[in-house]
Amino acid sequence: MKTKNKLFALLSVILPLAITGCDNDAPSTIEIPEMTISENEIKVKIGNDVNVDVIPGGGEYKVFSLNEEIAKAQLANNKLTVQGITIGKTSLIISDNDNCYERLAVMVYQYDAIKVEQQEVALKFPLGNPKQATINILEGNGNYTISSDNKVVEASVIGSIITIKAIGKNGVANLTVTDASGFQAFIRVQAEASMIPYDEAELEDIKTDQTLRYVFDGEVKKNASTSSSLLNKKEGDLNLYGWDYYNYHLKIYFAGDKEIGEKSESKLTQKNSSSSFSNEPIKFEIIKNDGTKIWATYSVVKGEKLYFGHFCQQINP
């Protein structure tokens, strides 16, 4: 009896194990790999195709573009072919039979590089006086941004026109232009300050202009329209040219004749809302004499700025 009871106890342990072993031999569920794509984002040139591998998933793959005006796509043999249509950004949605979805960011561009009008720019200017120039972007993918690595040169861009501005100090700046597709172009700007108030082209413009006028530090007074008292006389041994208006004035003194050339004993007394000088020695030069009028330039350094101007006036009062 004891032997029989032991046999029943042993069977009660073995039978469940035997049943479990059979279950393990039953066919198990096959895991299907999840669909993935070989890229997360791509760039496509207009009119070109780019292929992206689709790693198999649940089958019956489908793809659609969120904006077919920018990019189109089709799937065949686990290959996704993307075609660029117009410049812009969009996304493709890829799905399979297991409702697995992947998003592929697409950027479509037209040009492989940014082409600018100049890659080297030299800006020469009177000390302390800002000077600017423009550069055209000839090719690129739009939405441009620009940065400068040196504060002596500021830069901005509107549309395809770059404006660079030297703030009046010496230095070198490297500008970086970036377009909507991430392509970049580089421009090197040499900012060079000088003690020369006008370049040759500017001097020619001054001499060509017959308007009777005084110009100093950007302020222009024309004889025909000013309410100031105009000065053209002798004061002791010095010639005096300029204007006077209440507390504001511009008085230029120089010795000698009124023929072309630099003049001695030149000095400036001046006052307006932004600057003032009192008997300050200046560099004064008559650059043209046509027999009835003279054209002259004058300049003086104060602080870290070259103040300068010119006039065209009658020789005689």
- Compute CA distances 214 → 243, 305, 306, 314, whole Å: 8, 20, 17, 12
Question: What tokens were used for 307?
Answer: 């103040």
Q: Are residues 173 and 233 in the same domain?
A: no
| Listed residue (289, 293, 235, 290) closest to 267, CA to CA | 235
How much is the pLDDT for 18?
Answer: 38
Mean pLDDT over 283-306 rounds to: 97
Q: Are residues 299 and 265 in the same domain?
A: yes
- Whether the CB-CB separation of 226 and 243 falls below 8 Å is answered with yes
Mean pLDDT over 13-33 rounds to: 45
Q: How many CB atoms lie within 10 A of CB 282?
A: 23
Taken as a whole, the chain contains a residue count of 317
How much is the pLDDT for 29?
Answer: 52
Decide which of 194, 210, 245 is a domain's last residue. 194
Please report whether residue 28 resides in a domain: no
* pLDDT, tens only, 43-63: 999 999 999 998 777 778 889
How much is the pLDDT for 6?
Answer: 36
Q: Report how many domains make up the chain.
A: 3
Please report whether residue 12 resides in a domain: no
Q: Are residues 304 and 245 in the same domain?
A: yes
Please tell me the distance from the alpha carbon of residue 67 to that of residue 241, in angstroms, as a whole number.
71
Confidence of residue 267 (pLDDT cuts 50, 70, 90): very high
Q: Are residues 43 and 100 in the same domain?
A: yes
Q: Are residues 127 and 45 in the same domain?
A: no
How much is the pLDDT for 197?
Answer: 96
Instruction: Give me the amino acid identity at 272.
Output: N
Q: Are residues 296 and 204 in the same domain?
A: yes
Name the strands in the sheet holding 101-109, side by side, starting at the edge strand that comes first in the sequence: 41-45, 101-109, 88-95, 62-65
Please report whether residue 13 resides in a domain: no
Q: Are residues 223 and 310 in the same domain?
A: yes
| Residue 76, domain CATH | 2.60.40.1080
Is the pLDDT at 272 greater than 90, yes or no? yes
| Residue 189, domain CATH | 2.60.40.10
Backbone φ/ψ region at 77: left (φ over 0), alpha (ψ -120 to 50), beta: left
Confidence of residue 174 (pLDDT cuts 50, 70, 90): very high
Q: Are residues 153 and 122 in the same domain?
A: yes
In this structure, of 99-103, 121-125, 212-216, the range with the lowest mean pLDDT score is 99-103
Is the pLDDT at 22 greater than 60, yes or no? no
Please tell me the distance from the alpha carbon of residue 148 to that of residue 156, in angstroms, as a whole number.
9
Please report whether residue 207 resides in a domain: yes
Please tell me the distance from the alpha carbon of residue 194 to that of residue 198, in angstroms, as a whole number.
10
How much is the pLDDT for 77?
Answer: 85
Mean pLDDT over 233-257 rounds to: 96
The domain of 302 spans 200-314
Is the pLDDT at 116 greater than 70, yes or no? yes
Confidence of residue 31 (pLDDT cuts 50, 70, 90): low
How much is the pLDDT for 19?
Answer: 33
Instruction: Give me the amino acid identity at 317.
Output: P
Instruction: Give me the amino acid identity at 118.
Output: Q
Q: Are residues 51 and 102 in the same domain?
A: yes
For residue 33, the number of C-alpha atoms closer than 13 Å in the C-beta half-sphere is 7
Please tell me the distance from the alpha carbon of residue 166 to that of residue 153, in angstroms, as a whole number.
5
Backbone φ/ψ region at 60: left (φ over 0), alpha (ψ -120 to 50), beta: left
Q: Residue 128: phi, psi to the nearest 5?
A: 80, 0
Q: Are residues 209 and 181 in the same domain?
A: no
Helices (H), the chain: 2-25, 200-208
Confidence of residue 30 (pLDDT cuts 50, 70, 90): low
Report the largest interatomic distance among the alpha carbons of the chain, rounded to a whole angstrom: 152
Please report whether residue 11 resides in a domain: no
Please report whether residue 23 resides in a domain: no
Decide which of 80, 109, 138 is a domain's last residue. 109
Instruction: Give me the amino acid identity at 95.
Output: S
- Considering the chain, what is the average pLDDT of its residues? 89
N-to-C CA span, the chain = 151
Q: Which residues fall within 8 angstroms of residue 12, CB to CB, at 6 or more apart?
A: none
Question: What tokens were used for 168?
Answer: 């009046």
Q: Are residues 119 and 94 in the same domain?
A: no
How much is the pLDDT for 32?
Answer: 59
Q: Are residues 69 and 161 in the same domain?
A: no
Q: Which residues fall within 8 angstroms of residue 15, CB to CB, at 6 or more apart?
A: none
* pLDDT, tens only, 195-223: 999 999 999 999 999 999 999 999 999 99
Helices (H), 123-257: 200-208
Please report whether residue 66 resides in a domain: yes
In this structure, of 27-41, 166-180, 195-209, the range with the lowest mean pLDDT score is 27-41
Decide which of 194, 222, 238 is a domain's last residue. 194
Instruction: Give me the amino acid identity at 163.
Output: T
Please report whether residue 234 resides in a domain: yes
